[in-house]
């Protein structure tokens, strides 16, 4: 555990990834323990493009626990946040009580200052709470020397946060125990298992069906069968949002641009007679597109053609580089869509990536030696 040396200040900084579900988490069977009604499966996205960074410091001189999110101090009394803090502190005390000689839990009783930022749009349906709570729990565990299974702790903050504690392809097992101890996340395959898989995020200005789909999704990932992977992903997304509309009052996550993206994807796949790209939407309007590396350049140009932007290429596509491609007149004609100017602000190009990690460079700490946030610019 890094020591700052100023007022007995201990400080750790970590990062954690976003995960995007391809088999959705459809709801809770237990609201207090956040136990899901179905198992779910997600792809952890690479942290070079999307991540949460969290610094946590503790000191005897701190008068109270405090938290700053994206530059603004927030109320730390949030029950889910308190649940994560209390559970990590309990595990740290338990480690001391078992006589672990490496456990320094004298700091557990100290108050903490937490500072967290995202490098991607928050509250836009991009699983910012999942990355945020995963990063909080992982950083706390590093600070207090807690080891072992952490996904059940992160689940108390945000259900899908448990999946962000692992890289690659991750399932959150619904479990059967009433106390939720077996409702944990586990890695299905690592981020390097399907290297051709690519993800595009287009940023704009149940219980009977899902279990069978989970088994099928794990099978097609292990077979690297994009055709089946894409179709399952889109079917699950469609049913999830249809259920949202069927509630009373209905929940509207998708907007007009979302529906046009859905139409474009189906027209593109129909043109080629196979599933080359697939969409999914979480709790927001922004589309997440899965495809293979070989199809990436052309589809990005298709999006740029039908959703023309004033942004230059280097600003329209951010993240992993995408080669340019020419679109045939036949393709543009057969897709048969009217352009939607300025419908898409920009695209984040990324891929599957690893789970949380410790930031070793102390200059990257978000908190200063006084335990207060440094001035930092947060990405839009």
127, with CB counted inside 10 A (0-12, 13-18, 19+), is buried
Each residue's pLDDT tens digit, 284-329: 788 999 999 999 999 999 999 999 988 887 789 999 999 999 999 9
Residue (of 299, 235, 231, 225) closest to 268 by Cα position: 299
HEC secondary structure over 24-46: CCCCEEECCCCEECCCEEEEEEC
Distances (CA, A) of 225 to 135, 252, 282, 285, 303: 31, 32, 23, 27, 24
- Please give the residue that has the higher pLDDT: either 243 or 351: 351
> In this structure, are 98 and 244 located in the same domain?
no
Same domain, 29 and 167: yes
| Higher pLDDT among residues 103 and 50, named by residue | 50
| Residue whose tokens read 């942004």 | 311
Closest CA to 317 of 290, 296, 340, 293: 296
259 and 160 housed in the same domain: no
Number of domains in the chain: 2
Q: Cα Rg for the chain, rounded, in angstroms?
A: 22
Please give the pLDDT value at position 3: 44
Print the domain residue range for 54. Answer: 1-192+357-380
pLDDT band with cut points at 50, 70 and 90 for residue 208: very low
Please check whether residues 146 and 266 belong to one and the same domain. no
Are 209 and 176 within one domain? no
pLDDT band at 4 (very low <50, low <70, confident <90, very high): very low
Give the residue-averaged pLDDT of 36-59. Answer: 95
Shared domain check, 161 and 52: yes
Whole-angstrom distance, CA of residue 115 vs CA of residue 198 = 31
| Domain containing residue 27: CATH number | 3.30.230.10
Regarding whether 212 and 186 lie in a shared domain, the answer is no
pLDDT(204) > 70 = yes
Compute the mean pLDDT over every residue in the chain, rounded to the nearest whole number. Answer: 89
pLDDT of residue 286: 87
Same domain, 155 and 36: yes
Q: Are residues 83 and 178 in the same domain?
A: yes
218 Cβ partners below 8 Å, 6+ apart?
41, 171, 188
pLDDT at 26: 80
Q: Mean per-residue pLDDT for 35-60?
A: 95
- Looking at the fold, whether 71 and 176 belong to one and the same domain comes out as yes
81-90, 292-301, 307-316, 360-369: which has the minimum mean pLDDT?
A: 307-316
Residue % of the chain over a pLDDT of 70: 90
Q: pLDDT value at position 25?
A: 84
Residues 143 and 71: their CA atoms lie apart, in Å, by 22
C-alpha torsion 118→131→123→156, nearest 10:
-140
How would residue 121 be classed by pLDDT, with cut points 50, 70 and 90? low
Judgement on whether residues 55 and 108 belong to the same structural domain of the protein: yes
Considering the domain architecture, whether residues 210 and 140 belong to the same structural domain is answered as: no
The CATH code of the domain that includes 243 is 3.30.70.890
Are the CB atoms for 253 and 241 separated by under 8 Å?
yes
């Amino acid at each position: 555990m890094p020591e700052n040396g100023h007022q007995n200040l201990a400080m750790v900084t970590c990062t954690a990834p976003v995960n995007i579900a391809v088999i959705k988490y459809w709801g809770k069977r237990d609201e207090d323990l956040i136990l899901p009604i179905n198992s779910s499966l997600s792809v952890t996205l690479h942290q070079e493009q999307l991540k949460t960074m969290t610094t946590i410091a503790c000191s005897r001189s701190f008068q109270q626990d405090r938290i700053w999110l994206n530059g603004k101090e927030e109320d730390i009394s949030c029950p889910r946040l308190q649940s994560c803090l209390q559970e990590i502190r309990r595990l740290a005390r338990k480690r001391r009580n078992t006589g672990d000689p490496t456990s320094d839990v004298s700091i557990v009783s100290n108050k903490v200052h937490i500072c967290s930022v995202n490098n991607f749009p928050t509250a836009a349906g991009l699983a910012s709470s999942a990355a945020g709570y995963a990063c909080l729990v992982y950083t706390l565990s590093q600070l207090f020397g807690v080891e072992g299974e952490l996904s059940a702790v992160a689940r108390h903050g945000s259900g899908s946060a448990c999946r962000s504690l692992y890289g690659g392809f991750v399932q959150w097992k619904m479990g059967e125990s009433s106390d939720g101890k077996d409702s944990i996340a586990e890695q299905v395959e690592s981020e390097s298992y399907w290297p051709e898989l690519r993800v595009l995020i287009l940023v704009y200005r149940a219980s009977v069906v899902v279990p069978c789909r989970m088994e099928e999704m794990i099978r097609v990932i292990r077979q690297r069968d994009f055709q089946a992977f894409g179709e399952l992903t889109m079917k699950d997304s469609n049913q999830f949002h249809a259920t949202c509309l069927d509630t009373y009052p209905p929940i509207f996550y998708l907007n007009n641009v979302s529906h046009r993206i859905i139409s474009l994807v189906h027209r593109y796949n129909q043109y080629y007679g196979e599933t080359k790209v697939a969409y999914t939407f979480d709790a927001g309007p922004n589309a997440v597109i899965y495809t293979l590396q070989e199809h990436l350049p052309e589809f990005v140009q298709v999006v740029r053609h039908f959703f023309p932007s004033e942004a230059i290429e280097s600003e329209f596509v951010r993240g992993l580089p995408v080669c340019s491609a020419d679109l045939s007149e036949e393709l543009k004609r057969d897709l048969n869509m009217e352009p939607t100017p300025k419908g898409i602000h920009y695209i984040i190009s990324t891929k599957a990536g690893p789970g949380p990690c410790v930031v070793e460079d102390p200059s990257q700490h978000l908190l200063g030696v006084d335990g207060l946030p440094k001035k930092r610019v947060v990405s839009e």
